[in-house]
Chain A
Amino acid sequence: MDSENKTYYIKNNTIIINRDLNKLDLFVKDFLDVLKRHTSYLIVSGFVSISTGRTRGTEDVDCLVPKMDKHKFSLLLQDLFKNHFWCYQGDSLEEIWSYVEKGDNIRFAREEEIFPNIEFILVDESKPAKYFELTHPQKIKIKDFEFNIPPIEFEILYKEIILNGKKDIADAKHLRIFFSEILNKEKFKEYELIIKQEK
């Protein structure tokens, strides 16, 4: 089967998904176009399964970002505001930083919208599993939208071992079936040890 007719294929270590972009992809793409100018990142959880075909709705897209200082955060925030995103937690750096400083997650949506939104999760080495996936990204591409997700084996195990809700188990099942041809048993063993440190 030609790669154009396959649902997905791998090219230069990037997973290529053979589908058109939808409006949820475009929301995430617009956000990441700003975020990428300031920091590394990783898209995790529901959007990973949805972007690879799982048929379910979502209201938020989880995005891991390395912890940053206030100055770096202020530049990112200005850029997001300039590009028509708003933050649930406040309109000023001081207000929003008070959440970030405590380690609370914050949310961004497009102006005059609530959903979908980005849950912005700051991560450092104190969260070993999250830090590992953030620093070991897998590239995935849909048309011209390329973004970082965890290694698929890691994402499956994180959903099965840590999150473990009904929705997460179904997402993990989807990923196990959809990517069955490329999953690596050795990686499962390696990642299980890392993930269990966070349990």
Chain B
Amino acid sequence: MKNKPKTDLDYVEFYAEELKKNPEIFKQQKELIESQLKSNSDLTKKRFSKKNFKSQVRDYLKKSR
């Protein structure tokens, strides 16, 4: 990319070009993905107890539709 990225799609392009040159960038992606998974898991544990987990989640999903 010759010009400075401006739009979201410019950033997607910039990142993909940089990634092609440097696989080390995958390490940042791994951190981001695992941090999101941990947040989701922590939120799930806070919101739903282990007891009757599945029925609580199903009720929640029905109500949130």
Q: Do A and B bind each other?
A: yes
B16 and A178 within 8 A (CB): yes
Kindly state whether residue A151 has any CB partner on chain B within 8 Å: no
B20 and A178 within 8 A (CB): yes
B33 CB contacts on chain A under 8 angstroms: 22-24, 50, 57
A115 CB contacts on chain B under 8 angstroms: 37, 40-41, 44
With A22-B33, A55-B32 as known contacts, state yes or no: A174 contacts B16, CB within 8 Å. Answer: yes
With A23-B37, A57-B33, A115-B44 as known contacts, state yes or no: A7 contacts B19, CB within 8 Å. Answer: yes
Give the contacting residue for A55; candidates B23, B29, B54; CB below 8 A.
B29
Give the A-B contact count at a CB cut-off of 8 A: 87
B44 and A88 within 8 A (CB): no
Query: Per-residue 0/1 for A6-18: is the Cβ within 8 Å of any B Cβ (1 yes, 0 no)?
Result: 1100000000001
Total interface residues on A, using CB and 8 Å? 30
A113 CB contacts on chain B under 8 angstroms: 40-41, 44
B19 CB contacts on chain A under 8 angstroms: 7, 53, 178
**What is the bound-complex CA distance between A53 and B13, given in angstroms?**
12
